[in-house]
Amino acid sequence: MTSKVVYKGNLRTQCIHLQSGSEINTDAPTDNNGKGELFSPTDTVATGLASCMITVMGIKAEQSDIAFNNISADVLKVMKSNPRQIGEIHITFHIQESWNDKEKAIMERTAFTCPVAKSLHPDLKQEIIFNYS
């Protein structure tokens, strides 16, 4: 098993990663009867996409001897209402590395190979921006 999810009441869950014991707690969002005090389950999906993209880029950077120390991502999840589902995920990567054009192409291409990106429904719009500074 990968994880265990326990309902804690008041539309909250505790998610426990069995191998490490680390936890993620979730709360229903305010627009869906919750308090919005924690990540919502759909927030974790959108955030997981950014995390996965950064992870595979980090793996590629190590394999290719490309500097990979100063990267972050801003994530925006946009919900649809009928049916209620994630409609769009917008991710802006902020990269403060001196990558040449070849390295940029390698890393950007690699980001789109992440398993989360490939697992999401094709109708879910993924808008990905790479911002170099």
pLDDT in tens, 79-97: 999 999 999 999 999 999 9
pTM: 0.94
| Alpha-helical runs (H) found in the chain | 41-64, 101-111, 115-119
Task: Provide the terminal-to-terminal Cα distance of the chain, rounded to the nearest Å.
Answer: 41
Best CA proximity match to 107, nearest among 50, 48, 58: 58
The predicted pLDDT at position 41 comes to 97
pLDDT in tens, 100-121: 999 999 999 999 999 999 999 9
The predicted pLDDT at position 120 comes to 97
The predicted pLDDT at position 73 comes to 98
Domains located in the chain, CATH noted: 3-32 (no CATH), 41-132 (3.30.300.20)
Strands, sheet with 71-81, edge to edge from the N-terminal-most edge strand: 71-81, 84-95, 125-132
